[in-house]
Structure 1
């Protein structure tokens, strides 16, 4: 049990990610990370979000967030990695990090590498984070920069997060299908206009030939 006070602050520094699945059809991923302590809280995911790293295979962010109003009901930190796109952003990976290991860590601060998971729940890639629990009256001990030597810590597949992630995948797929249909419609409309133009040109040519024969 964490025994967190309602005024506790969860400090999270997102360092970097490695081994991410490529989801861009052309070019490299444009990845970003978002965080929440409530598995399906879209507003929180949108609030605690890193910047986008363009064309990055192994992105590095070094961005920190203070998640406030946490309590004992918040047992995990939920992490999502997405690829920014013109339509719906493409989900890359996700993970749930049990916060009890942060509480048990020295100084209630844990700097580690965590497994990420794809839509099938299979480990694919890693993310490096520093997570601190700051209780009321305590001060932050400062931010840590990833030096490439963090040890592996526990992360897991949360079934509710897995369902959420699959919905994100379906949303992105539907967006791609819609975009493809729109492009197809434009091509079809263009082809129709061209066919109509060619038909009118052919009819005009026939009329010219008929007039010439009459003369």
Structure 2
């Protein structure tokens, strides 16, 4: 069973639906709205069976219920990043931010635009959206800041953000300043984000929210992914350098051969 209900804090509504006894058994339903263990609204369905003689419950324990699986959207507004690690050797960083619930699915990432020549500080104020957000299943938001480059984009910083900060926030909106980590695991730089859980299809909430220090962490699988990106970037750079050198040697060989052909023969 699926439902898409608005996020309403502290919702407590009970709506019993009772059917009168008939000659044949008749189910009796009771629908209850409340807050589940993930601090998000959900609903429960209870039912029993009435007969003219007595009421029977199925199962015998009347607390039988079905909990709806509710899907929402997580809106991520990327405000800015500061004090980033400098990974561009021939100029300034061209950073962008990407986010996902699933680092193993490369198609699940949502990305900001690239800020050309931003260097160590960049500002976006762009809102990304991750759909099918289920609080009971999605516990972590993975954030990566990368350098836009030819070939493989090298990582600048990364972090894993516990989403309990959102589900425990008033109105399910949390604005935080989050620490980033370099591929080696060193704390370096910050990213400012507003995270908001909304009903699927709704826009991100408007208004200014006070920024607080957010909690970030390093998860081993995420760190392995970042380290792999870093290794692949080094291999790509080496291949590019080898290609350039190979091209230079080839050009020199062609030049030398033409010079030899142009030398006049002695009589």
Same fold (TM over 0.5): yes
How much does 1:102 deviate? Answer: 1.0
Q: Which has more strand, going by share of residues?
A: 2
Greater displacement, 18-27 / 66-75 = 66-75
2:128 maps to 1:89: no
Partner of 1:150: 211
2:253 maps to 1:192: yes
Three-state SS of the structure 2 residue aligned to 1:132 is strand
How much does 1:154 deviate? Answer: 0.2
Greater displacement, 13-22 / 167-176 = 167-176
Larger radius of gyration: 2
Higher relative contact order (CA 8 A, sep 6+): 1
- TM-score, reference length from structure 2: 0.70
Return the match for 2:96 from 25, 32, 44: 32
Alignment RMSD (CA, Å): 2.0
Partner of 1:213: none
Structure 2 stretches lacking a partner, 5+ long? 1-36, 41-68
How much does 1:143 deviate? Answer: 3.5
Structure 1 stretches lacking a partner, 5+ long? 211-215
2:111 maps to 1:69: no
Query: Is the 8 Å Cα contact of residues 62 and 145 (structure 1) preserved in structure 2?
Result: no
Three-state SS of the structure 2 residue aligned to 1:93 is strand
- TM-score, reference length from structure 1: 0.87
Task: Supply the distance in 1 between the matched residues of 2:243 and 2:130 (Cα, whole angstroms).
Answer: 40
Partner of 1:113: 177
Per-residue Cα deviation, 1:39-78 (whole angstroms, up to 9, x for no partner): 2221011xx1000000003111111122111222211000
